Amino acid sequence: MHIPDGFLDAKVWAAADVVAVAVVGACARKVKGNLGERQAPLLGVTAAFVFAAQMVNFPVAGGTSGHFVGGALIAILLGPAAGVIVMTCVLLLQCFIFADGGLLALGANILNMGVVGSFLGYGVFAFMPRVHLWGLRRMWAGKGSLAVAAFAAGWFSVVGAACFCALELGLSGRYPLWGAMAAMGSVHALIGVGEGIITAMVLNFLARVRPELTAGFDAGGGAE
């Protein structure tokens, strides 16, 4: 999903840069004011985990591959603002050290995977327990509620970020808009399954070995 240089025209990457800088700045101020002693070490640990996990690719279909993104996981644990900050740091390192994603497209990559991925994942995680359709409310009384909400958050965060990426490519005239949406959406719908599974597994593991880290969850209501 990392966009290289040359795929976005000037007006698109410049607009993405402006939005990304504004959102990251606002999130940095919020994290600085709200981050406590318990969350600060976890912020560094999750950043290291996401950076390492993104280096591992898994096959999807038709010769394509995907990797863990992590915005939803961090947002669930520490809040969406922290998710944006961690993802921004990871994407900066990937861009400058590994040339993964273009310098001019850095703002777009932060906007897609950092901002959209974190806030959308957190929003889905918070919303899932409030779903009443088809009697789904009953599942939240069971032990699998955390896993279900985490899986949905991971899946939607990846697909949403992919759709924003496709929108930027379409607005740049690189590909037809709806063709890019269909291609990116279908592939990342599969990649999102891996994202959802990893997000659910990590949160369930933390709930068992470090229950204090998930003590602020209200059946998927997110961390305070």
Residue 160 has pLDDT above 90, yes or no: yes
Residue 108 has pLDDT above 80, yes or no: yes
Backbone φ and ψ of 67, nearest 5°: -145, 160
Residue 64 has pLDDT above 90, yes or no: no
Residue 103: pLDDT band (50, 70, 90) is very high
Say how far apart CA 72 and CA 154 lie, in whole Å. Answer: 6
Q: Which of 105, 114, 117 is nearest to 174 (CA)?
A: 105
What would the pLDDT profile of 176-221 be if each residue is shown by its tens digit? 888 889 988 888 898 899 899 999 998 888 888 877 666 556 444 4
The CA angle 64-51-92, to the nearest 5 degrees, is 95
Q: Which of 121, 93, 88 is nearest to 107 (CA)?
A: 88
Say how far apart CA 192 and CA 177 lie, in whole Å. Answer: 21
How large is the average pLDDT for residues 29-56? 78
C-alpha to C-alpha distances, 48 to 37, 70, 176, 215, nearest whole angstrom: 18, 11, 37, 23
Residue ranges of domains in the chain, CATH in brackets: 10-214 (1.10.1760.20)
